[in-house]
Amino acid sequence: MCAPFFQGRYTDMSVVVVVVVVVVVVVVVEVVVVVAVVAAAVAVVILVVIVVVVIVVFVVAVVVVVAVVVVVVIAVVVIVAAAVIVVEVVVVVVVVVIVVVAAVLVVDPFYLLFFYKTPMSLSFKLSYFERSALGPRKSHSF
């Protein structure tokens, strides 16, 4: 069998079959290459998305860790400040008590006895008031 081929020449059918097979093979190879390139591009896009997601997750994790550390530091500072304020208040109260007691002792040492409720001190208090009301004692000279 002969088929017309280039400019009216007749060629053997085997050449046509070879050309068709070569064209089909080339087309199949090109399709496979295009599919492989598209698959590679999709894989690269997927990898980029995965990397971006991982980076975002790590950044968010770091931000969360930093935020937790900042909150803990602020809490510690507030607790320490509260403790310092409590200590300062206690120190001021103690100093005021010491100053008041010292002032009372300097002005009238017997005044502190009026804070107690014992029978012995009560009799002493009464006698102290009686003596105070009478004024200073006069000594009798012979």
**Better-predicted residue by pLDDT, 3 or 90:** 90
- Measure the CA–CA gap between 13 and 3, rounded to whole angstroms: 7
CB contact at 8 A, 128 and 110: yes
CA end-to-end span of the chain: 176
For the chain, the structural domain boundaries read: 2-133
**In the numeric block, which tokens belong to residue 124?**
């002493």
pLDDT tens-digit profile of 81-91?
999 999 999 99
Alpha carbon of 109 to those of 38, 83, 123, 128: distances in Å?
102, 36, 17, 12
- Measure the CA–CA gap between 3 and 16, rounded to whole angstroms: 9
Centroid of chain to Cα 59: 15
Q: What is the mean pLDDT of residues 100-127?
A: 59
Percent of the chain exceeding pLDDT 70 equals 63
Collect all residues with Cβ–Cβ distance below 8 Å to 121 and sequence separation of at least 6: 113
pLDDT tens-digit profile of 37-66?
999 999 999 999 999 999 999 999 999 999
Centroid of chain to Cα 30: 57
Q: What is the mean pLDDT of residues 6-34?
A: 79
3 state SS of 55: helix
pTM across the whole model: 0.42
Identity of residue 104: V
pLDDT, position 97: 87
pLDDT, position 88: 94
